[in-house]
């Protein structure tokens, strides 16, 4: 089976995640030297933004060319989660290079939501043979605010205002988890 253009773009997004991680780690390491390499920070920011720009591109390509595929429905969210979770893990530790630091409770909240979605999807899949995931505005808002939190850290916006985007991201993370949970329960009720 040949990869569609949309899936090729998604694979590129996945391959950019290790590049992002390396740029962050090298930038962080450069703080131990006399002069940090700021270019690494800006390249990392560019790679982060490129991954989410390409997310919109691959979605548009898949819909406009009628190339929506099962592989794409798995790879696309995997690329999003790989980038967001990598950034969350990198920015929850103490670092001279990046402030503010992500609170541990926030990282655990995001991981818990994603784990709940995966486990719930697997349960529904095993019981019903098919999982239907409706795109939700709260899910899009969750991704937007989680991205905003990461970008806030990447470009070094003021720490005193940081709790606002973190609070919004946490609110939408809980809201979307609740909505997806009710969607899953409804799917299971239909199976009875």
Tens of pLDDT, residues 38-60:
899 999 999 999 998 998 898 88
Same-domain check for residues 2 and 73: yes
Same-domain check for residues 39 and 124: no
Same-domain check for residues 183 and 125: yes
Those residues whose C-beta lies under 8 Å from the C-beta of residue 117, and which sit 6 or more positions away, are: 177, 180
Residue keyed to tokens 């709260």: 138
**Inside any domain, residue 88:** no
Q: Note down the domain range covering 43.
A: 1-83
pTM: 0.88
**Inside any domain, residue 95:** no
Tens of pLDDT, residues 95-150:
777 888 899 999 999 999 999 988 888 887 777 777 777 778 998 899 999 999 99
Closest CA to 147 of 116, 172, 181, 113: 172
Task: Give the chain's length.
Answer: 192
The number of folded domains in the chain is: 2
């Amino acid at each position: 089976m040949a990869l569609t253009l949309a899936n090729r773009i998604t694979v590129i997004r996945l391959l950019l995640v290790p590049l992002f991680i390396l740029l962050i780690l090298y930038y962080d390491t450069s703080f131990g030297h006399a002069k940090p390499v700021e270019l690494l920070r800006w390249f990392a920011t560019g790679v982060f933004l490129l991954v989410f720009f390409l997310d919109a591109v691959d979605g548009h390509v898949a819909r406009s060319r009628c190339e929506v595929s099962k592989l794409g429905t798995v790879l696309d969210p995997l690329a999003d989660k790989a980038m967001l979770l990598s950034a969350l893990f990198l920015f929850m530790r103490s670092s001279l290079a990046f402030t503010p630091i992500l609170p541990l409770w926030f990282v655990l909240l995001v991981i818990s939501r994603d784990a709940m979605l995966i486990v719930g999807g697997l349960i529904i899949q095993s019981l019903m043979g098919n999982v239907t995931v409706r795109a939700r505005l709260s899910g899009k808002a969750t991704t937007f605010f989680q991205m905003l939190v990461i970008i806030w850290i990447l470009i070094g916006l003021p720490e005193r205002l940081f709790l606002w985007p973190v609070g919004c991201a946490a609110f939408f993370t809980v809201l979307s988890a609740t909505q997806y949970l009710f969607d899953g329960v409804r799917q299971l009720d239909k199976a009875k």
